[in-house]
Amino acid sequence: MAEIAQSGEIRAHREEWGQVWRRRAYAVAKRLGDIVAATVLLLLLAPLFAIVALWIRADSRGPIFFRQTRAGRDGRPFAMYKFRSMRADADEAVHRQYFLELLQSGQTQDTGGVFKVPNDRRVTRAGAVLRKTSIDELPQLWNVLRGQMSLVGPRPPIQYEVDAYEPWMRERLAVTPGITGLWQVSGRSRLSVEEMFQLDVEYVRRRSLLLDAKILLLTVPTVLASGRAA
């Protein structure tokens, strides 16, 4: 009996170490893929970045890029970048109130973005197009290159969003946040906040290179469909 118990402990130990090494191999492969993809995309998209920058500057006063502190892996803060899509004097309290109402009501969003306020008067003319096409998110490739974000993962929240989380929602902070994720290709604005977070937690638990590849392949048609519907 002692030998059987010992054999079982050895198998359990091997399985545990096998999981650890698979996670490590996945993390290394994903990081290498992020570095290569972000570098290539930043080089290829440089002309588009220049055109967008000129358009933003001509359309409204203010900086070209919007910099905002977000919660990264394990809740660590970092500066996330976007192309500016709002007036420079936009009040953040509008979004805070909208997010809290969505979280408390359990309703689905009626916009095509990430907790974006419907009919938001703070959005510029150029910004409306950038949001519909998700071009405003492209500067986050720099965050990916720096290791603060990944191509795939839960969206990085603002701290006041994290402060409103229920305990189970915090599991989505266990991985590096991403530009796109599981819920973005699983219904986008047709999901409630709780359903979105459930999909983020599902991603954290199921994450693999195969799942990441599937999400990336589905992201482009999803964004295009969202842009046509907007």
Any domain includes 27? no
Any domain includes 90? yes
199 and 186 in contact (C-beta within 8 Å)? yes
pLDDT value of position 102: 74
88 and 60 in contact (C-beta within 8 Å)? yes
| Res. 7 pLDDT band, cuts 50 70 90 | low
Residue 52: what residue type? V
CA angle 118, 221, 72 (to 5 degrees): 65
Any domain includes 218? yes
Any domain includes 178? yes
User: 222 or 108: whose pLDDT is higher?
Assistant: 222
Any domain includes 1? no
Whether pLDDT at 10 is above 60: yes
* CA proximity to 45, closest of 144, 154, 147: 144
Cα atoms in the 13 Å half-sphere on the side-chain side of 97: 6
Any domain includes 94? yes
Whether pLDDT at 113 is above 50: no
Whether pLDDT at 111 is above 50: no
Give the C-alpha separation, 143 to 166, whole Å.
27
Number of compact structural domains in the chain: 1
pLDDT value of position 120: 78
pLDDT value of position 230: 43
Mean of all residue pLDDT scores within the chain: 86
pLDDT digits (tens, 9 = 90+) for 68-102: 999 999 999 999 999 999 988 877 777 777 777 77
Any domain includes 154? yes
Supply the range of the domain harboring residue 208: 33-229
Any domain includes 14? no
* CA proximity to 80, closest of 30, 150, 129: 150
